[in-house]
Amino acid sequence: MGVLINPSILSADFANLERDLGVIANADYAHVDVMDNHFVPNLTIGLSVVERLVQVCPIPIDTHLMIENPDRWAPGFAEAGAASVTFHAEAAQAPVRLARELRRLGARAGLALKPATPVEPFLDLLSEIDMLLVMTVEPGFGGQSFIEGTLPKIRRARAAISEAGLDVWVQVDGGVSRTTIERIADAGANVFVAGSAVYGADNPAAEIESLRTLANATPHSH
């Protein structure tokens, strides 16, 4: 289970997305936040933009759907070529059916939990997903500070995954930076979404490598 750095284009220049995807070509995935102004109080980009990003992105695309009714809408993102499609547990009516459909369409299936959503109800379903996204800020806006209280949840998730002998990635999104990534990795996360930390850096590519080095320095990441 290697360390993956997935910069969030929420902090990129929306008028120059192709250019700003090129800037993070040394990352593992590009994290694309889809928000519908219903599930979260913000509106970003939708399926037609993601379809084009898939075509021009130098690395695979990891979509995070912060939307209502993902049962209906999420499969379209898999069909568009997103390598990973994550939907929210709080919004899905039939999460296992949806995860199976995403996998059938060739995408990795991700299940996302808001900071206040407990992981326990989903531990028995871990074999049905490829990734668990533990939100470490309230979803909707970039640039928020990391919520320390999410670390025990990351630990419990990783312990359950290890105990079951599963290869499920644990992703964190929110407030990931040089000052927080080591603690997050130590708790058991292996996929790190960083938006403002990467795009706000003078050299985004170097910042990605710094984050990767820090995350790899913790015992859990090996």
Which residues are marked as active site?
33, 173
The helix/strand/coil state of 94 is coil
Residue with tokens 């910069």: 7
Angle between helices 70-79 and 95-104 (to 10 degrees): 10
DSSP annotation of 138: -
Residue linked to tokens 């992981």: 119
- Nearest CA to 198 out of 42, 15, 13 is that of 13
Distance CA 210, CA 3 (A): 12
- Backbone phi, psi, residue 132, to 5°: -110, 125
